[in-house]
Amino acid sequence: MPSEFELIRRYFEQTPRDVRPGDRRRRRVSLGIGDDAALLRPSAGMELAVSTDLLLEGVHFRAGADPRKLGHKALAVNLSDMAAMGAAPRWATLALALPVVNEAWLGEFAKGFFALAARFGVELIGGDTTRAAAPGAARGSIVICITILGEVPTGLALFRAGARPGDDIWVSGELGGAALALAQPDIAAAARRLDEPEPRVELGERLRGLASAAIDVSDGFAQDLGHILERSGAGAIIEYELLPRSIDVRKIQDEKLQARLVLCGGDDYELVFTAPQASRGEVEVLASDLKLSLSRVGSIQSGAPRLQVFDTQGRPMPVGRGFDHFAP
Ligand code: ADP
Ligand code: MG
């Protein structure tokens, strides 16, 4: 069986050790995988954005999940956090706890991870690899922990706290697809939304100086918009019909179920952001530039951080809770 070091070299060490100075790959990393720590070269005039996400087998993904898709998703959820900050993702570390050494699994996981990393110019600069349980103990679970580092020009990061009364509320893409996949795994488009989310990295970067606040939808639209409201000390009015959803979600006959998917479904990794009304034209131009739908779904209100959602007849709708890891 290959040693831990051999596995790391085989599956995770992408940058050759002998890159010459001046080589393109050398620009942002002075020293990558293979020593006691990596050395990074952040650009002048940039702040570093850092975020960590933990994915646990049985909690965030089911046992036996496709490893290539898992490699994609583990990185995608981190890229999404960079997007929500308006940061450009640059570097990542990867910590893995594995119940068994399964080289086919590692190879596929690495494929999914690196395919997405390459698209956004992210370099894997280190990590840790360990067995998930002591020898002789019951089988442990797979644990995947990625830390991502990105850069954002000083003073231009997007915060949850910046929404102001009168601002429009916008949502990228579509809501509810990932949650639909949990209910109906046979719908291919929904399954893709759940297993291979597309982080809105370009959108996040383009929202610098344009959005007043932003967050990514990981735990459900209502809950995540709620974080903007709490942090900004403001309320919101949403027109339910304006919330974007896929044809598959719109087809659901059970109206309560459809509303629950759209308002409370997690794992969509779209961006919710606010922007002054005066910026509507600019946001619309951005949508057409990125070929990504950006829907204006409501507005920020002064007062308590309360979210009100109205149906087509102008009646208030009940808003359930989003995903809570510590809920019983
Ligand atoms: P240490 O003993 O200092 O923890 P390790 O032997 O665990 O170092 O790791 C050796 C090198 O391999 C380090 O540069 C570490 O960052 C890297 N590494 C270990 N596991 C991974 C992984 N899963 N992905 C990427 N790099 C890794
Ligand atoms: Mg180690």
Q: pLDDT digit of tens for each residue in the chain (328 aa)?
A: 788 888 888 888 875 544 555 555 547 998 989 899 999 999 999 999 999 999 999 999 999 999 999 999 999 999 999 999 999 999 999 999 999 889 999 999 999 999 999 999 999 999 999 988 888 888 889 999 999 999 999 999 999 999 999 999 999 999 999 999 998 989 999 999 999 999 999 999 999 999 999 999 999 999 999 999 999 999 999 999 999 999 999 999 999 999 999 999 999 999 999 999 999 999 999 999 999 999 999 999 999 999 999 999 999 998 876 655 565 4
Q: Atom 18 (ligand 1): residue with closest C-alpha?
A: 127
CA 59 – ligand 1 centroid, Å: 25
> In angstroms, rounded to a whole number, what is the distance separating the alpha carbons of residues 134 and 171?
45
Taking the CA of residue 129 as reference, the ligand 1 atom at the shortest distance is 20
> In angstroms, rounded to a whole number, what is the distance separating the alpha carbons of residues 314 and 240?
10
Closest-CA residue to 50 (of 144, 157, 130, 143): 157
CB 224, CB 218: distance < 8 Å: yes
257: DSSP letter: H
> In angstroms, rounded to a whole number, what is the distance separating the alpha carbons of residues 238 and 326?
27
Choice from 33, 40, 78, 98 to test ligand 1 binding pocket (greatest atom count within 8 A of CB): 33
Q: Quick count: other Cβ atoms within 10 Å of Cβ 119? A: 13
Q: Tell me the two tokens of residue 285.
A: 């131009």
Q: Tell me the two tokens of residue 82.
A: 């960079």
What pairs with residue 169 in β-bridges? 274, 298
Residues 6 or more apart whose Cβ sits within 8 Å of residue 168: 274, 275, 276, 277, 279, 280, 283, 296, 298, 299, 300
> In angstroms, rounded to a whole number, what is the distance separating the alpha carbons of residues 308 and 169?
13
Entry pTM: 0.93
Taking the CA of residue 36 as reference, the ligand 1 atom at the shortest distance is 3
